Structure 1
Amino acid sequence: MNTLDINTIAFQYLLRNNNSEETSTETPKYDPAQHIKTQKSLLFHLYDLEEEAEDILASINFKN
């Protein structure tokens, strides 16, 4: 058995197994509303981090 035969068998095996799984090659659609919602979430997260940092600094200054 030569290399071409092994490659042919492997290729046919992959094709046979690939047919059992239908994969979607469709690209996701861009949703501006979801993008804006994500951006707002990040912004609010930054505000929360800023407030937390201020609280930590205030507690450090209070102890000193």
Structure 2
Amino acid sequence: MIEFQLPTMTCGHCVKAVTAAIQSVDAQARVAIDLPTHQVKVETGAEKSALAEALKEAGYEPA
């Protein structure tokens, strides 16, 4: 399980964008998002660094 804090993730659109960014790295990744706490949990075989880069490119800098 990989976890990220994304302070700029604030709405439903953000949830969709974050999910799409993660699944662009691993289409089979399981993504669980807790919007009020800005927390993302990912079950994946991908590297955390690759996921972090995809999130940055989508405009969501992990804290």
Q: Which has the larger radius of gyration?
A: 1
Query: Counting strand residues as a fraction of each chain, which structure ranks higher?
Result: 2
TM-score between the two structures when normalised by the length of structure 2: 0.26
Q: What is the TM-score when the length of structure 1 is the normalising length?
A: 0.26
**Which has the larger share of helix?**
1
